[in-house]
Amino acid sequence: MSQSARPNRNPVITVLLRRMRTPLLVLLTAYALAVLGFSLIPGQDDQGESWRMSLFHAFYVVSYTGSTIGFGEVPYTFSEGQRLWTIVSIYMTVIAWLYAVGALISTLRDPAFHAALDIVRLRKNIARLDEPFHMICGYGDTGALLVRAITERGGRAVVVETDAERVQALNLREHVPHVPAMHLDARNPEHLMMAGLRNRWCTSVLAVTDDDRTNLKISLAAKLLHPGSHVICRAESSETADNIASFGTDHIVNGYDHFAYRLHLAIRAPDLHRVYDWLTGIPNTELPERARPPAGHWLICGYGPLGRAVTERLLKDGHEITVIDETAAELPAGVQRVAGSGTQAGSLRQAGIAHADALLACTSDDADNLSTVMTARQLRDDLFIAARQNALRNKPLFEAANTDMTVEPSYIVSSQVLAILNASLLNSFLKAAEDCDASWHRELAEQIRKLADGRIPVTWTLRVSQKRTPVLVNCLEAGKPVALQDVMRNPANRDSSLDCLPLMLRRADRTVLRPAEDTWLETGDYLLFCGTPRSETSMRRSLRNRDLLEFLRTGVHRPGGWVWRKFRQWRMGGENGNAAQKEG
């Protein structure tokens, strides 16, 4: 029988049987010998006649002697041979019990047994899932941010992580709804299937580990084993990204390229950068206000993946670049290079910090980046300084270092993934918004600031279809027009609007940015909104209730519910019958 065709056994029972096989055989052998001895050794009854114990009677005696309960010599006084065999049986069975109990305790403390228990718990948790969930592979800083953001919006997630300490840390946190987390190797396809990859409720697979090869294997397994799933993969190199894209991965997120693009926006279009930053941020966190980076001469300390991405982007925009790095990496034409480290004042002076406009410390070591920041501050207090923060736990250090801009790759990756999951039109909107002028960007930024009330807003996509919004589609098909402002009304006060903004309307091949609120909706429309979490919940609730949507559309309030619908049907039937009688 092939491995895939074998029955799905309980691993806990398998481990127990494997580890307890010898102790159980020893215990059974001891009891068998004791029972056999009592049944063979003769004794005397109360009449002085010879008698022998039956197997059942012998097993009864061994049961209470082996456990040292000691009921006495029953039913008759033992002979000397039986008493001698009782002594032998007591020691033999007690030693067997000690050996068996010790082996059981050792098994219960065995990591393999706990791993088997975790697998059983995972299977039960996955089997209990009856709603769509996201499989998150990797619980580093990026995975932790994704779990937090998904659960805060009421979504379900399953985490696969190879580090046992990270799994334990997640299990100790109170996420609502509960997040099943397992110590499994996501590179193993069997482990992915064990975590629910082929479960019909698995809608997306998020490969966000710190290793490109691991993310590549996860994406490949997800596409082969569950082609219907939505696969989002993190990649730090262009070679890996090209490889991942070759077999149809839905989305590839490169945090370094995204930061380089954001830096480009912050320099060229600061108001659009604010919109981009707010709409792609982690929802319900503090609304950031970042300093505007200057154009001109940039010092790049560290030519890793981030330094390379920023250098290429700034070169396209015509900035002067000087790279400070100890390696002999090949640089693009027009880029100056200083051999050394940004932590050394001599290297910074040689690179021209005296007349530079900005500095970016972007090595893979937080200590070196912080040291570079402090050294640069001593040389130029007025210099714009940005620094890469590799680990979220070091955030207090970077805040104390007073950097003008902090680069958090894990935050950037998680925000991009959430933008893809929650609002599929968001990236299209941001791309189209680049063609608008600065005043349009400024007006939109101020509107978002007002409705957000100091917190990053949520973004969501509304699809007008029979599957997603059947109540709305039924209303349109019945000839009852619905305007965009109708779905944006507040159910508690129809004359006021929800705290949300319509960002984009896509209808067939036509795209409209910031559609007017009096726009009539049509079946097949895609709408992109941003606003408060309460507004999103209220809007979706209104579109699921026929009577509530009718109230928002017309202002006529009709009691809802099954009882009232039946009452209206009965009343309409009675009125139609009376009318027919009058006509007759």
Alpha carbon distance 490, 552 (integer Å): 8
Q: Do 358 and 299 contact (CB within 8 A), yes or no?
A: yes
Asked whether residue 480 carries a pLDDT value surpassing 50, the answer given is yes
CATH of 129-253, one of 3.60.20.30, 3.40.50.720, 3.20.20.105, 3.20.20.70: 3.40.50.720
Domain ranges for the chain: 9-108, 129-253, 281-426, 457-562
**Which SS3 state, helix, strand or coil, does residue 407 take?**
strand
pLDDT band at 575, cuts 50/70/90?
A: low
pLDDT digits (tens, 9 = 90+) for 363-416: 999 999 999 999 999 999 999 999 999 999 999 999 999 899 999 999 999 999
Q: Please give the Cα distance from 468 to 487 (Å, whole number).
A: 14
Residue 236 neighbours by CB distance under 10 Å: 21
Q: Do domains 9-108 and 457-562 have the same CATH topology?
A: no
Q: Assign 328 a pLDDT band (cuts: 50, 70, 90).
A: low
Cα distance between residue 141 and residue 293, in whole Å: 26
For 457-562, CATH number out of 3.30.70.1450, 3.40.190.10, 3.90.1150.10, 3.40.50.1860 equals: 3.30.70.1450
Q: Tens of pLDDT along 520-565?
A: 999 999 999 999 999 999 999 999 998 899 999 998 876 655 665 6
Coil vs helix vs strand at 248: coil
Question: Are residues 530 and 279 in contact, defined by beta-carbon separation less than 8 angstroms?
Answer: yes
Gap between the Cα atoms of 581 and 572, Å rounded: 14
Assigned CATH topology for domain 281-426 = Rossmann fold (3.40.50)
- Round to whole Å and give the CA distance between 305 and 290: 23
CATH fold label, 9-108: Helix Hairpins (1.10.287)
Predicted pLDDT at 3 = 40
Quick: pLDDT tens for 66-82.
776 666 787 888 999 99
pTM: 0.79
pLDDT score for 2: 38
What is the model's pLDDT at position 4?
Answer: 40
Rounded distance, CA 474 to CA 523, Å?
10
- Confidence (pLDDT) at 453: 84
